[in-house]
Every structure is written in structure tokens, then in C-alpha cells.
């Protein structure tokens, strides 16, 4: 991978990692006695690893000028592997904490092993580690093909990936040693947040610079979604993380907002992290890889436009449905409910557009597990957006909120939609990237698909059951007019569902383990058949409106 | 017609990016900005008191351990919740909470009004091993809280940071932050009086974990739990029973 960089780029890379090393050492020194110091050591060690990798390849022959006639795919390859590693790590931790809820004594009397610290390790690991790396890796691939242009330079895609993974590492290690802001899905502290802003600005500049070089007059729909993902996540991240650190040598900070304003800002962020991280970005992925794999053009240009702008506009109003019946003023709750219901329209337009694209290719969905992953992803996207709009209605929410139903809903989206679109994409993309005809084993892809299906269904059904039972037990009255069940009664009733959920999660976790093996074996296959594999996929991009 | 307009828009990178920003910004501007300007959003409660340095440290432990992942601090305006947990939560009760800890999930019960419901000894025993007092509980055991000494020398800086984000701590409170944290667990000490002077007569000054000499993380967390729902009486004067 270093051999693809020019000598100048290698020198800049060494300088950048040296700067990171210095920063790490300063943090380690200044933060002595505070958890920040531990993070200083982690930053420094990370910088040494990166620098070591660059120096090891430093004296490799410089790449020829012909590289500029080809797309730059090394960062995409790296991102795919890293995303799979995060998937395995994040899903393992997720399943572990699922077992903790059934068997709470598996904590070794250690702070880092308790549920409260491990739970954000799971959510960050899968959302940002797995999801984020998959989005960045595929966005590099998609923007080049649909623009018929090479990335403008070879260093900034690496800066984004390396910096982004440092952010994920700081986040995950931070929770284990007790660093968190407690804002859900925005837990990392101020210095990690600043790092992410730098990474994100680099990412946005890289993206629009590539688009500016495009040979296609029109920007393809997949790029609209990737752009919305990059831009809106930046706005959300900056606003929600505004905080005052206790000092520059301590990790702890206090959020700028308090109480009801903080709650609204947090769920404006939280719900739109779902919208623009877990939906928009992956819709971008779907809009490129699903038609490619199916060999069919996108069904409707008009539906693409309406779906995109509907999602971009409506989602931002919906966050307050997380705060029904709370101390948030009623008018905001009602606005959130209204827009959440309206949101179903653009969501189903996007899902329908994907499924209609498959018309004429249904036999391939039957035979090809890779395409089936993407088709099921579109189905789960449609199902979970319907469920989401439904749960945002106040009386429904009075039952579902605070229960496991929410957890089931989230996982219908993240397992059924997000993970499946990623796996379908990766199984298409890996043979293209490593220039082999197909994945090492089709049978393992088939196995992965059915493990994912079984895992998702078991998980979601278990959580539907436990959530609705919980909600009903909390509000059931005796004939005498008093509450029928204590809280502990409802907890005891959850036990079998918690075990079922953990089993479902385990099945799902096996998927990426098999997947990573299959991908690594495909790469090995490509080494053995070097030069004899198929040529670059066709460079002509799908045009919007086709 | 609109497809033709859009057909032109998608030829311009910057124009498209600006359009995304504008269209996505509207929702937040309409829903969040008025919450800072409309006075009725947060009730007035003249008796609202501040967290003592010890309670604030306990709150930070609550955050550090991720307690909010399983416990909400927001009683909704529903009849069954009011009967189970107490008067529903008012916005003013968390007006000094940077950040708020309303939570989103009840794997365990709501804690908005847990203060005073159980004795200190029960809270300590429960945190030490929840299954000793509630056999069916799935909560982790937090034994290390009793072992860890509380870091107190930085509490003054914490109060300064709190003041920067709008919590009205006085210079006197900031200057005595460390001393007050130690004195709050040692009612017989000379400095104990100062805690009540600065933070109000209702402040709990006692050895929360049973040992007045050392300030442990257990002291801080239990002090925080015992004040939850007790910072103001506003919610108790509200007789509305919910829907």
C-alpha cells in the first residue's frame, strides 16, 4: 500500500505521523494522573505504528506516472478489511453484553467489564467502527466510478481513514477506562471530538475535489446521499458536542447545554445520526451497488429525487419523538410525531425504488446470495422505517418507550438493513477490488446470508416480545386500582427473551467471522492468479436518470 | 418541471452542498432555537439548589459507569409512572444538569426520585452486590467504588467549568470545593457547618458509606443518588396525576 505513494507523499506521511507522535507525548505528559494521560500513550503508540508502516515501505520503488490513469483503490481495500475487523469486535462485545443481562456476574470484579462501560464499546464499535469504515471505503470507490475521475491526491484518503480509526480507538478505549460524555452515540470527549472534526473536513474536501474533477456532467444519486451523510453529520457532531473542558490537561468536560435544551439537542443529534449515518450513507451504497449487482438501472429518477429531499428535510424534525410525555414542551413533541409519520413517505419511496430496480432480476436474487443480501436489506429498510414511524406516534410510544421494543427496532434497522447492505456490497466489491472473478467460496456467502437472516429474526422477535410484555406489565392495574406488577416482576419475565436475543446475536456475529475468512481467502486467490484475473470493471458510470 | 430544475442543480457540486445544508437546517432551527427563548419552557423554582462538590463528583461517577444506559431520570406524564415513581419530572429539575441524564431505556427502574427512598446502608449494600438485596437483579456489582478514594483536588476546577456553562456557583463555593467534599462525609468535623451554609440546610452531611475519614467513590455516588429528585419541591407541589 505504501508502494503506491509517491516519495513526496511518503515524506509528508512520516511528518504527519511524527506530529501525531509529538501530540501523543504532550498529552501523555500533561495528562499525568488523569485518564487523558492514558490516551496520550495510545495516540503515541498509534503514531509509532503508522510511522513504522510508512518507513517499512519507504524505499520501495516509486509508482510510475501511469497510476494517474487508474482509479486509486488502496484506501478502499484497507477500509474493507478494517470494517470487517470492527464488525467482529463490535458484534462480539454486543453479544457479550447481551449475555451479561441474563448472567450479570460475569464481570470479574473489574470496572471495564461492567455493562455500563461495555455497552458504548459495542455501539461505537459497530456504528462508527464497522459502519463508518464501510461508508468511507465504499464512498471512495463510488465517487471515482460515478465521476469517472481519480481521487485528487493519494494522501488525504489515508489521513481520513487513519484519523477516523484513531477516533474510534480513542472512543472505545476511553469508555473502558471511564472517559465518556454520556451523550448516546456521542460519548467521546472533547479532544476526540476535535480530531473527528479535522478528519471530517478533510473528508468533505476530498469528496468535493473529486466531484469537481468529474467527467460526468451530472452528480449521480449515490453521491447525493454520501454528501448529505458527510455534511449533516458534521453539523450534528459539532453542535451536540459543544462543551467546556475542566482543563486542557483533563479528559472531562461539561456540555454547554443543560436539561431540556440539552435533551432536545441530543436527540436531534441522536435521531439524525440514525438518519444521516445509518440511513443516508447506506442509501448511497445501495443506490450504486444494488443496480450494479443486479445489472439493472435504477427504476425511477423522479423517485430518487423525491426520496432524497424528503429524507433530508423530514428527518431533521423527527428527533423529539424520543422525548414524548417528558418535560419537553408538547408542541415540540407533536411536531416530532407529525414529521416522523410523514417520513414514511420518502423512506418507502427509497425502499420501493430499490425493490422495483430488482424487477426482472428476481431469479438472480434467488440464486445469488450477494444480491439477496441487498434485496433483504431494502426489505428490512422498508419494515424498520414503517416501525419507526409507528413507534413515533405518542400513544404507541407511551407503551414502547424505555422498553426492549426500541432495542428490537434499532436492531431490525442495523442488522437487517445496515449490515446486510454492507455485506452484499462487500461481496460484490471484493472481487472487483482484488481483480478476481468471484468470491473464494459462494457457499460461505450463502451460509453468511442464512446466519444473518436467522440471527436478525430471532433477535427482533425476542425483543418485540420482551418489549411489549415489559410495557404492558408496567401499566397493568389490579381490579383494586393499584399497579399489578413490581418492576422486578417485569425483569424476571425478560430472562428467557434475553437468552434468546443473545443466541440470535451470536448467530449474526458468526457471519462476519465467516465473511472475513472468505475475503482473506479471495485475496489469497488473487495473489495466485495475479495478472490472469478479470480486468477493471467498466469505467462508464451509471448516469442519473437511466 | 421540478425534475428539470433538479437536473440542473445536480450539475453543481457547491450548489448541491449548500442546498443540503439549508434543507437540513430548517428542522433544528424551528425545534431547538425557540427552547432557549420561550420562557415557559422551563418553570421557575426559587428553592432550586445546586449539587455540592461531592454530589457533582457522584454524578460524574454515574456518567463514567454508564448508569444512564439502563436507568432513566425522567418520569413521564403517564398515570402509571406517577404512581410507580412519583410526581412527573419537570424541566426545571434538570436545569443545572450539564448534560442531562434523562436516559432512553429502563432495564432497571427510573431513578428521578430515588433520593431518600432507601437508606444509605441499603444503597451501599446494593451497589456492592445488587443480588444481596434484590436476588433477581441483573445489575453489575460495583465493588471497586468502595475501594477507590475519590479524587477531590480537581473539584474546584470542575465548579469553575460548571460556572462557565451557566451554573451559578459562587467564588466561595469554588474556593472551598475540596474542603466541602471532605466535610460532607464527616459531620463531626469543623468544616461540616460550611457545607450547609453554602449549599442549604437541607444538604445531607453524613458518612454515606459509614466511614467519615475517607472520601470514597461510594460516598460520592450515594450522596448523588440520595439527592435525586430533592433539589426542588416544585414537582411535589404539582398535583396533576398524569394521563
CATH assignment at residue B169: 1.10.760.10
Q: Are A256 and A345 in a shared domain?
A: yes
Q: Are A200 and A282 in a shared domain?
A: yes
Residues of chain A in contact with residue B97, where contact means CB-CB under 8 angstroms, are 258-259, 262
Residues of chain A in contact with residue B164, where contact means CB-CB under 8 angstroms, are 244, 254
Q: Is B168 exposed, middle or buried (0-12, 13-18, 19+ CB in 10 A)?
A: exposed
Q: Which of A212, A218, A258 sits opposite B10 (nearest CB)?
A: A218
Handedness of CA A229, A235, A239, A244 (dihedral sign): positive
Q: Are A175 and A97 in a shared domain?
A: yes
**Residues 116-135, chain A, touching B (beta carbon < 8 A):** 116-117, 119-120
A496/B contact by beta carbon, under 8 A: no
- CATH, residue A443: 1.20.210.10
Structural domain count of chain B: 2
Average pLDDT across chain B, whole number: 96
Q: Are B136 and B173 in a shared domain?
A: yes
Res A279: pLDDT: 96
The answer to whether the CB atoms of B27 and A491 lie below 8 A apart is no
* Stated length of chain A: 546
Q: Are B32 and B58 in a shared domain?
A: no
Residues of chain B in contact with residue A246, where contact means CB-CB under 8 angstroms, are 154, 157-158, 160-161
Q: Which of B6, B81, B136 sits opposite A492 (nearest CB)?
A: B136
Which candidate in A104, A211, A402, A490 is best for mutational testing of the B interface (most B CBs within 10 A)?
A402
Q: Which of A260, A276, A475 sits opposite B42 (nearest CB)?
A: A260
Q: Which of B2, B94, B141 sits opposite A259 (nearest CB)?
A: B94
Q: Give the C-alpha separation, A236 to A247, whole Å.
A: 24
Q: Name residue, grid cell 419507526.
A: A388
Residue-number span of the structural domain to which A20 is assigned: 1-59
* Residue B114 placed within a domain: yes
The answer to whether the CB atoms of B137 and A104 lie below 8 A apart is yes
Q: What does the block give as the cell for A379?
A: 426489505
Res A370: pLDDT: 98
Q: Are A79 and A3 in a shared domain?
A: no
Q: Give the C-alpha separation, A77 to A75, whole Å.
A: 5
Name every residue whose Cβ is closer than 8 Å to that of residue A486 and which is 6 or more positions away in sequence: none
Q: Are B10 and B96 in a shared domain?
A: no
* Residue A539 placed within a domain: no
What average pLDDT does range B143-160 have in this prediction? 97
* Residue B113 placed within a domain: yes
Which candidate in A252, A327, A343, A405 is best for mutational testing of the B interface (most B CBs within 10 A)?
A327
Res B209: pLDDT: 96
ipTM over 0.85: yes
Q: How far is B229 from chain A (nearest CA, A)?
A: 14
Q: How far is A464 from chain B (nearest CA, A)?
A: 15
Q: Are B169 and B236 in a shared domain?
A: yes
Q: Are A323 and A208 in a shared domain?
A: yes
Full DSSP string of A469-523:
HHHHHHH-B-TTSSBS--HHHHHHHHHHHHHHHHHHHHHHHHHHHHHHHHHHHHH
Q: Which of B89, B161, B164 sits opposite A327 (nearest CB)?
A: B89
Q: Are B11 and B82 in a shared domain?
A: no
Residue-number span of the structural domain to which B29 is assigned: 2-41
**Residues 458-487, chain A, touching B (beta carbon < 8 A):** 474-475, 477, 482-483, 487
Res A235: pLDDT: 97
User: Is the confidence at residue B239, as pLDDT, over 80?
Assistant: no
Which candidate in B4, B12, B24 is best for mutational testing of the A interface (most A CBs within 10 A)?
B24
Q: How many interchain CB pairs under 8 A, A with B?
A: 266
Q: Are A373 and A456 in a shared domain?
A: yes
> Contact, A239 vs A272, CB < 8 A?
no
Name every residue whose Cβ is closer than 8 Å to that of residue B81 and which is 6 or more positions away in sequence: A474, B75, B88, B110, B242
Q: Where are the alpha helices (DSSP H) in A276-343?
A: 281-294, 301-314, 330-342
Q: How far is B218 from chain A (nearest CA, A)?
A: 14
* Residue B46 placed within a domain: no
Name every residue whose Cβ is closer than 8 Å to that of residue B144 and which is 6 or more positions away in sequence: A109, A110, A111, B217
- Closest-CA residue of B relative to A402 is B105
Closest by Cα among A183, A225, A107 to B10: A225
Q: Are B33 and B110 in a shared domain?
A: no
Of A25, A59, A93, at which residue does a domain stop?
A59
Residues of chain B in contact with residue A401, where contact means CB-CB under 8 angstroms, are 76, 104
* Residue A348 placed within a domain: yes
- Closest-CA residue of B relative to A113 is B140
* Residue A378 placed within a domain: yes
Q: How far is B214 from chain A (nearest CA, A)?
A: 20
* Residue B48 placed within a domain: no
pLDDT in tens, chain A (546 residues): 888 999 999 999 999 999 999 999 999 999 999 999 999 999 999 999 999 999 999 999 989 888 899 999 999 999 999 999 999 999 999 999 999 999 999 999 999 999 999 999 999 999 999 999 999 999 999 999 999 999 999 999 999 999 999 999 999 999 999 999 999 999 999 999 999 999 999 999 999 999 999 999 999 999 999 999 999 999 999 999 999 999 999 999 999 999 999 999 999 999 999 899 999 999 999 999 999 999 999 999 999 999 999 999 999 999 999 999 999 999 999 999 999 999 999 999 999 999 999 999 999 999 999 999 999 999 999 999 999 999 999 999 999 999 999 999 999 999 999 999 999 999 999 999 999 999 999 999 999 999 999 999 999 999 999 999 999 999 999 999 999 999 999 999 999 999 999 999 999 999 999 999 999 999 999 998 865 545 554 444 334 433
**Residues 389-448, chain A, touching B (beta carbon < 8 A):** 398, 401-403, 406-407
Q: Are A352 and A289 in a shared domain?
A: yes
Res A532: pLDDT: 52
Q: Is A202 exposed, middle or buried (0-12, 13-18, 19+ CB in 10 A)?
A: middle
Residues of chain B in contact with residue A309, where contact means CB-CB under 8 angstroms, are 23
Q: Give the C-alpha separation, A486 to A488, whole Å.
A: 5
Res A528: pLDDT: 87
The answer to whether the CB atoms of B32 and A261 lie below 8 A apart is yes
Residues of chain A in contact with residue B157, where contact means CB-CB under 8 angstroms, are 246-247, 250
Q: Which of B14, B93, B161 sits opposite A244 (nearest CB)?
A: B161
Element spanning A253, H or E: strand A253-255
Q: Which of B72, B141, B157 sits opposite A247 (nearest CB)?
A: B157
Which candidate in A116, A200, A336 is best for mutational testing of the B interface (most B CBs within 10 A)?
A116
The answer to whether the CB atoms of B139 and A104 lie below 8 A apart is yes
- Closest-CA residue of A relative to B70 is A116
A342/B contact by beta carbon, under 8 A: no
Q: How far is B227 from chain A (nearest CA, A)?
A: 17
* Residue B47 placed within a domain: no
* Stated length of chain B: 243
Q: Are B9 and B116 in a shared domain?
A: no
Q: Are B236 and B130 in a shared domain?
A: yes
Q: What does the block give as the cell for A247?
A: 482543563
The answer to whether the CB atoms of A250 and B157 lie below 8 A apart is yes
* Residue B157 placed within a domain: yes
Structural domain count of chain A: 2
Adjacent-strand bridge partners of A245? A253
* Residue B235 placed within a domain: yes
Q: Are A214 and A252 in a shared domain?
A: yes
Q: Which of B84, B100, B157 sits opposite A259 (nearest CB)?
A: B100
Residues of chain A in contact with residue B30, where contact means CB-CB under 8 angstroms, are 317, 335
**Residues 140-179, chain A, touching B (beta carbon < 8 A):** 175, 178-179
* Residue A67 placed within a domain: no
Q: Give the C-alpha separation, A250 to B154, whole Å.
A: 10
* Residue A535 placed within a domain: no
Q: Are A338 and A249 in a shared domain?
A: yes
The answer to whether the CB atoms of A224 and B16 lie below 8 A apart is yes
Q: What does the block give as the cell for B175?
A: 474556593
Q: What is the widest separation between alpha-carbon atoms in chain A? A: 85
Q: Are A22 and A130 in a shared domain?
A: no
* Residue A199 placed within a domain: yes
Amino acid at each position: 500500500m505504501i508502494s503506491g505513494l509517491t516519495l513526496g507523499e511518503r515524506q509528508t506521511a512520516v511528518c504527519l505521523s511524527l506530529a501525531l507522535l509529538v501530540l501523543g507525548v504532550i498529552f501523555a505528559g500533561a495528562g499525568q494522573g488523569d485518564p487523558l494521560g492514558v490516551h496520550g500513550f495510545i495516540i503515541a503508540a498509534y503514531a509509532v505504528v503508522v510511522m513504522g508502516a510508512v518507513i517499512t515501505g519507504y524505499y520501495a520503488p516509486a509508482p510510475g506516472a501511469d497510476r494517474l490513469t487508474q482509479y486509486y483503490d488502496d484506501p478502499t481495500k484497507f477500509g474493507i478489511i478494517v470494517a470487517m475487523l470492527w464488525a467482529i469486535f463490535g458484534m462480539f462485545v454486543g453479544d457479550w453484553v447481551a449475555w451479561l443481562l441474563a448472567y450479570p456476574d460475569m464481570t470479574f470484579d473489574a470496572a471495564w467489564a461492567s455493562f455500563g462501560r461495555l455497552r458504548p464499546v459495542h455501539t461505537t464499535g459497530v456504528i462508527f467502527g464497522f459502519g463508518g469504515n464501510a461508508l468511507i471505503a465504499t464512498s471512495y470507490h463510488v465517487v471515482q466510478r460515478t465521476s469517472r475521475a481519480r481521487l485528487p491526491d493519494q494522501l488525504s484518503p489515508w489521513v481520513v481513514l487513519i484519523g477516523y480509526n484513531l477516533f474510534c480507538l480513542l472512543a472505545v478505549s476511553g469508555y473502558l477506562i471511564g472517559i465518556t460524555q454520556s451523550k448516546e452515540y456521542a460519548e467521546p470527549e472533547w479532544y476526540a471530538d476535535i480530531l473527528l472534526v479535522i478528519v471530517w473536513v478533510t473528508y468533505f474536501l476530498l469528496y468535493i475535489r473529486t466531484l469537481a474533477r468529474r467527467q460526468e456532467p451530472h452528480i449521480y444519486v449515490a453521491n447525493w446521499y454520501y454528501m448529505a451523510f458527510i455534511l449533516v453529520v458534521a453539523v450534528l457532531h459539532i453542535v451536540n458536542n459543544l462543551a467546556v473542558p475542566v482543563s486542557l490537561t483533563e479528559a472531562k468536560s461539561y456540555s454547554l447545554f443543560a436539561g431540556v435544551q440539552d435533551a432536545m439537542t441530543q436527540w436531534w443529534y441522536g435521531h439524525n445520526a440514525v438518519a444521516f449515518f445509518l440511513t443516508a450513507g447506506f442509501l448511497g451504497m445501495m443506490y450504486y451497488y444494488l443496480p450494479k449487482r443486479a445489472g439493472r438501472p435504477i427504476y425511477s429518477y423522479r423517485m430518487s429525487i423525491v426520496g432524497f429531499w424528503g429524507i433530508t428535510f423530514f428527518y431533521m424534525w423527527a428527533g423529539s419523538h424520543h422525548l414524548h410525555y417528558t418535560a419537553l414542551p408538547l408542541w415540540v413533541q407533536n411536531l416530532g410525531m407529525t414529521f416522523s409519520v410523514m417520513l414514511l413517505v420518502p423512506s418507502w419511496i427509497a425502499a420501493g425504488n430499490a425493490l422495483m430496480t430488482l424487477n426482472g432480476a428476481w431469479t438472480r436474487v434467488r440464486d445469488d446470495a450477494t444480491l439477496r443480501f441487498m434485496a433483504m436489506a431494502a426489505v428490512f429498510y422498508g419494515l424498520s422505517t414503517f416501525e419507526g414511524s409507528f413507534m413515533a406516534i405518542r400513544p404507541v410510544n407511551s407503551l414502547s418507550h424505555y422498553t426492549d421494543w426500541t432495542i428490537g427496532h434499532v436492531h431490525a434497522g442495523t442488522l437487517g438493513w445496515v449490515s446486510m447492505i454492507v455485506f452484499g456490497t462487500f461481496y460484490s466489491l471484493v472481487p472487483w477490488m482484488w481483480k478476481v472473478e468471484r468470491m473464494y467460496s459462494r457457499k460461505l456467502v450463502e451460509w453468511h446470508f442464512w446466519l444473518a437472516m436467522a440471527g436478525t429474526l430471532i433477535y427482533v422477535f425476542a425483543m418485540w416480545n420482551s418489549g411489549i410484555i415489559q410495557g404492558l406489565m408496567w401499566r397493568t392495574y389490579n381490579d383494586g386500582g393499584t399497579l399489578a406488577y413490581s418492576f422486578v416482576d417485569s425483569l424476571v419475565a425478560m430472562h428467557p427473551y434475553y437468552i434468546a436475543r443473545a443466541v440470535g446475536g451470536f448467530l449474526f456475529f458468526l457471519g462476519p467471522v465467516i465473511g472475513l475468512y472468505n475475503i482473506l481467502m479471495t485475496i489469497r486467490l488473487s495473489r495466485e492468479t495475479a495478472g490472469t484475473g478479470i480486468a477493471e470493471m467498466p469505467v462508464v458510470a451509471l448516469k442519473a436518470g437511466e | 418541471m421540478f425534475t428539470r430544475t433538479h437536473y440542473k442543480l445536480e450539475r453543481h457540486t457547491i450548489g448541491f452542498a449548500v442546498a443540503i445544508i439549508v434543507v437540513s437546517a430548517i428542522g433544528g432551527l424551528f425545534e431547538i432555537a425557540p427552547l432557549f427563548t420561550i420562557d415557559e419552557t422551563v418553570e421557575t423554582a426559587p428553592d432550586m439548589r445546586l449539587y455540592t462538590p461531592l454530589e457533582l463528583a457522584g454524578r460524574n461517577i454515574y456518567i463514567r459507569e454508564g448508569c444512564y444506559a439502563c436507568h432513566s431520570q425522567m418520569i413521564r406524564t403517564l398515570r402509571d409512572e406517577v404512581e410507580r415513581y412519583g410526581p412527573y419530572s419537570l424541566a426545571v429539575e434538570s436545569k443545572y444538569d450539564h448534560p442531562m441524564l434523562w436516559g432512553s431505556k429502563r432495564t432497571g427502574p427510573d431513578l428521578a426520585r430515588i433520593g431518600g427512598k432507601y437508606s444509605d446502608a441499603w444503597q451501599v449494600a446494593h451497589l456492592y452486590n445488587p443480588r444481596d438485596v434484590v436476588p433477581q437483579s441483573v445489575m453489575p456489582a460495583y465493588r471497586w467504588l468502595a475501594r477507590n478514594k475519590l479524587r477531590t483536588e480537581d473539584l474546584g476546577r470542575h465548579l469553575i467549568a460548571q460556572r462557565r456553562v451557566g451554573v451559578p456557583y459562587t467564588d466561595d463555593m469554588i474556593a472551598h470545593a475540596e474542603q466541602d467534599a471532605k466535610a460532607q462525609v464527616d459531620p463531626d468535623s469543623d468544616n461540616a457547618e460550611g457545607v450547609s451554609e453554602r449549599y442549604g440546610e437541607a444538604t445531607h452531611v453524613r458518612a454515606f458509606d459509614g466511614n467519615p475519614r475517607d472520601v470514597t467513590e461510594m460516598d460520592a455516588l450515594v450522596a448523588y443518588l440520595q439527592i435525586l429528585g430533592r433539589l426542588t419541591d416544585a414537582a411535589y407541589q404539582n398535583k396533576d396525576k398524569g394521563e
